[in-house]
Amino acid sequence: MSQMNRRRALQLLAALGATGLAAGCGSDSEGDAPGSLVKIGLIVPGSGPNKAIGEEIANGFQLFLSLNDQQLGGHPVTLVTAEEGDSAKTGQAAVDKLLKEGVLALTGVVSPTVMFGIRDAVEQARVPLVGSNASPISLQSVVYIWRTSYVLSEPGEAIGQYLRQTLKDTSSRITVFAPKTTSSRDIIEGFRRGYEQSGRRVNDFVYTPDLSNPGKGAYSSAIRKALPRRPQAVFCHYTGAAATSFIKQLYDEGYRGPIYAPGFLTEGSVLSQLDDGEGGELRTRIEKYGIHTALNYSADLNNSANRVFASAYRKTHNATPTTYAMASYDAAQVLDKAIRLVGANPTPQLVNLALGKIGQIDSPRGPWQFNQPRTPQQKWYLRRVQRDGRLLSNVVVSELATLG
């Protein structure tokens, strides 16, 4: 814990009194009667390119509530939603709205830009935020912000370590494609940290426009200029419609090699948009050359928590759950544990203290726990896009590393 974090924690303990948390811990509401109603604020985008992720996050949190009698820690819950938008200003407006509602805790937040932008407001309000999507590297020294997803550098680091062990020739050329954004910077930094050892270097970077809905040929020119350098592998960072367009155009321009990426390259609806069916040209190329991704979750993981979660999600939404839904489901789970630990009279400050005491989480991704920076220490998995039945799916090939 940093010196600032330690000072803040001591100040908080002093303000609450030495017996504050102890009085609450283990004191469930009288008998089996439900405790007092609590409000949880959910910050997600209702429009724009991140809308689909926002829906997954809302679905995951709601699923936990539906499986637990609409309660967290023995208290009935009202979930209050606020529009995230895509900037620090819109994120701040969402936080302000939810604080006026008297929420016990906040959750959600899709955009790393928004997460960083609301940092000071959350810390000053002293209301815990359990974020359920990736966080920027720069979000450090926080007391009231917790994440059930991961730091943006981690998926790149996991796949970088894998390629360092897999590509035997230290002079292998890897071309990196990504939009020039803060998120890409963090992901590439992690990839280089994992790969650039024992004389290995990545020197071929191609930055493309940051497009939420790219048209046909949006990436073709950049790809055409890069391929004559004959990369042995491509590492890239795109999501949603941009991921679909990039993969199609990469193959259309003649690339015939493996693609490696953080897992959100093929999360959500991307695979259904790439799948042109049995014998289709695009599916044949994907299966022949391979798309490998690193992520902290896959819907085919074989553990009891995932069997419950994935089955309930498919039954409710007629869709395969993503890492976004899983992380939000876990955000509800950690709040459930923390509120239960506090007991009958939860306050934001007591819940925040309890979040540091909940220990291991039995998650659909496998067991994990919070580390000192308030993010998960967790396993990362290598997934390959391949047929699972009649459809293309992200199928776990192996474990990669434990990070966090």
Is there a single domain that holds both residue 279 and residue 188?
yes
**CA atoms of 345 and 296, how far apart (whole Å):** 34
Is there a single domain that holds both residue 187 and residue 286?
yes
Q: What is the pLDDT of residue 388?
A: 83
Indicate whether 193 belongs to any domain: yes
Confidence of residue 15 (pLDDT cuts 50, 70, 90): very low
pLDDT (tens digit per residue) in 121-146: 999 999 999 999 999 999 989 999 99
Confidence of residue 277 (pLDDT cuts 50, 70, 90): confident
Is there a single domain that holds both residue 139 and residue 160?
no
CATH number at residue 253: 3.40.50.2300
Share of the chain above pLDDT 90, in %: 83
Indicate whether 237 belongs to any domain: yes
Q: What is the pLDDT of residue 32?
A: 52
Q: Which has the closest alpha carbon to 395: 380, 383, 379, 381?
A: 383
Q: What is the pLDDT of residue 389?
A: 82
Is there a single domain that holds both residue 30 and residue 141?
yes
Is there a single domain that holds both residue 158 and residue 145?
no
> Taking a C-beta distance cutoff of 8 angstroms, is the pair 374, 147 a contact?
yes
Indicate whether 375 belongs to any domain: no
Confidence of residue 33 (pLDDT cuts 50, 70, 90): low
Indicate whether 252 belongs to any domain: yes
Is there a single domain that holds both residue 142 and residue 31?
yes
Is there a single domain that holds both residue 192 and residue 283?
yes
Is there a single domain that holds both residue 199 and residue 331?
no
pLDDT (tens digit per residue) in 45-64: 999 989 999 999 999 999 99
Q: What is the pLDDT of residue 194?
A: 97
Is there a single domain that holds both residue 272 and residue 334?
no
Beta-carbon neighbour count of residue 89 at 10 Å?
10
Is there a single domain that holds both residue 17 and residue 145?
yes
- At how many degrees (to 10) do helices 323-342 and 51-67 cross? 40
Q: Give the total number of structural domains in the chain.
A: 2
**CA atoms of 176 and 178, how far apart (whole Å):** 7
Indicate whether 10 belongs to any domain: yes
HEC secondary structure over the chain? CCHHHHHHHHHHHHHHCCCHHHHHCCCCCCCCCCCCCEEEEEEECCCCCCHHHHHHHHHHHHHHHHHCCCEECCEEEEEEEEECCCCHHHHHHHHHHHHHCCCCEEEECCCHHHHHHCHHHHHHHCCCEEECCCECCCCCCCCCEEECCCECHHHHHHHHHHHHHHCCCCCCCEEEEEECCHHHHHHHHHHHHHHCCCCCCCCEEEEECCCCCCCCCCCHHHHHHHHHHCCCEEEECCCHHHHHHHHHHHHHCCCCCCEEEEHHHCCCCHHHHHCCCCCCHHHHHHHHHCEEEEECCCCCCCCHHHHHHHHHHHHHHCCCCCHHHHHHHHHHHHHHHHHHHHCCCCCHHHHHHHHCCCCCECCCCCCEEECCCCCEEEEEEEEEEEEECCEEEEEEEEEEEEEC
What domain range is 227 assigned to? 153-295+381-403
pLDDT score of 399 more than 70? yes
Cα within 13 Å of Cα(54), Cβ side: 18
Q: Which has the closest alpha carbon to 370: 55, 142, 183, 75?
A: 142
Is there a single domain that holds both residue 355 and residue 338?
yes
Q: What is the pLDDT of residue 210?
A: 92
**CA atoms of 63 and 102, how far apart (whole Å):** 23
**CA atoms of 136 and 150, how far apart (whole Å):** 9
pLDDT score of 39 more than 50? yes
Indicate whether 43 belongs to any domain: yes
Confidence of residue 168 (pLDDT cuts 50, 70, 90): confident
Is there a single domain that holds both residue 306 and residue 238?
no
Indicate whether 126 belongs to any domain: yes
**Range 370-389 average pLDDT:** 94
Indicate whether 376 belongs to any domain: no
